[in-house]
Homo-oligomer: A and B are copies of this chain.
Amino acid sequence: MVKNTYMRWRLPFVCLLWEVAMIILFGVFVRFDPEADAHWKEEQRQKNLTSDIENDFYFRYPSFQDVHVMIFVGFGFLMTFLQRYGFGAVGFNFLLAAFGIQWALLMQGWFHSFENGKILIGVENLINADFCVGSVSIAFGAILGKTSPVQLLILTLFQVTLFAVNEYILVSLLHVKDAGGSMTIHTFGAYFGLTVTRILYRPNLEQSKDKQGSVYHSDLFAMIGTLYLWMYWPSFNSAVSNHGDAQHRAAINTYCSLASCVLTTVAFSSLLQKKGKLNMVHIQNATLAGGVAVGTSAEMMLTPYGSLIVGFLCGIVSTVGFVYLMPFLESKLRIQDTCGIHNLHAMPGLIGGIVGAVTAATATEEVYGKEGLISAFDFTGDYKDRTPSVQGGFQAAGIFVSLAMALAGGAIVGAILKIPFLGDPADENCFEDDVYWEVPEDEESSLYPMHDPTLKPVTS
């Protein structure tokens, strides 16, 4: 069956329509946060801040840039492992993220930074917008190679919207702590994406199986993504935590969890393999599960030792998931998960939510100090009487809310993406850049043609 994947009118139409909408909405609603506004000097005197260094910019900007790299280079290159889908992986991730952060600034702004009819944005809003888009990049991983850019832009519009609603319910209504997004970003994003790919199930996908593998260099490109995600994850989990000890602690816990995760990933990658050889797919993905799984608890007093345990378990869970669970999901549940986000984000995300709930429930004044406990969980105002154990209950509730939102939302959005004229590729053209990209005729047009039937391997 030949499908119409001609993008010439549809893609520009969607891009321009949405960008124009962004401009209008920004014009009506978005202004600078006082710390980014030229009136800051007056502001400063009122808050009597002694120095410009007190501007939130200096507390968060370095972490913001690390997060920014994770979203665009980290997720983008992690998905370049496919031998002929590198342009789509990096390019479409770039496109959906660039649109998503704008829409996220608005959606999150209406819920969290809305004052006198205006959304006031500062560096923290930029970080949260990147976070929101991170959940879309995660979902993208499940449908990688099987959708058109138009479908991705529609997906982004809806997922960002639902993300903001879910985040509002958790953070504002349930007063849940989730600075690194185990629930709001990973659990939500992954189950959302898995539901979408389930709805878009392709029974004859084996027609493009030959393109689902990697080649030597594409695996190295993917390692660029992996390493940047791994290295900057401490910034990810600490970026929006409270100033001072909370940010400091979140970075340390994440650093520990990730380190531990690498060793169990390597161990099980070799162990579950008859030949005992390491599998790049595991190294590229499961090593990151430790960062996902401390997303909620990193800013709490999880302790370095607790972090090592979490990382230890997640490296195992994630690797086992790739070996045993993924084939099962595809054959039995008809969930075709291109990048294995179920192993990297879904399961570790759930674990992260649970670890967070337990860590919160077991918090004590002895460990946090009276003041520390109050500031760590923001037990002030309406919540000044909330106890750690109650907080733990609400944290647990947050997991289920995120799951429900993801499944329901994913089902609806998946159905929307089935609308015929959105230009998705035929089964035999999946995982192939040629469909939407001008691909250089590689070595054909080069001085170094790449194959020679006659030539034997030469050893110098």
Q: Does A332 touch B at the CB level, under 8 Å?
A: no
Q: Does A330 touch B at the CB level, under 8 Å?
A: no
Beyond A72-B227, A211-B447, A219-B440, 17 additional contacts (C-beta under 8 Å) are: A16-B263, A30-B304, A35-B245, A37-B301, A38-B376, A55-B247, A68-B231, A99-B262, A122-B248, A210-B445, A273-B438, A277-B436, A432-B447, A447-B457, A451-B451, A452-B453, A453-B453
Contact A36 B459 (CB under 8 A): no
Interface residues on A, range: 35 or more
Residues of B within 8 A of A69 (CB): 231
Q: Does A287 touch B at the CB level, under 8 Å?
A: yes
Contact B437 A36 (CB under 8 A): no
Chain A positions 272 through 292: 1 when the CB is less than 8 Å from some CB of chain B, otherwise 0: 011111111001000100000
Q: 11 pairs across A/B with beta carbons < 8 Å?
A: A8-B275, A23-B312, A26-B305, A32-B249, A36-B252, A40-B244, A41-B245, A62-B65, A123-B252, A215-B443, A277-B436
Q: Does A450 touch B at the CB level, under 8 Å?
A: yes
User: Roughly how many angstroms separate A126 CA and B255 CA in the complex, as a whole number?
Assistant: 8
Contact A99 B441 (CB under 8 A): no
Greatest chain B CB density within 10 A among A22, A33, A101, A447 is at: A447
Q: Does A394 touch B at the CB level, under 8 Å?
A: no
Comparing A46-54, A135-143, A379-387, A411-419, the segment that makes contact with chain B is A46-54
User: Roughly how many angstroms separate A262 CA and B96 CA in the complex, as a whole number?
Assistant: 9
Residues of B within 8 A of A18 (CB): 263
Greatest chain B CB density within 10 A among A30, A212, A215, A283 is at: A215
Contact A459/B259 with A248-B122, A452-B451 known, Cβ cut-off 8 Å: no
Contact A16/B65 with A256-B102, A305-B27, A369-B41 known, Cβ cut-off 8 Å: no
CB-contact partner of A213 in B53, B245, B440, B455, under 8 A: B440
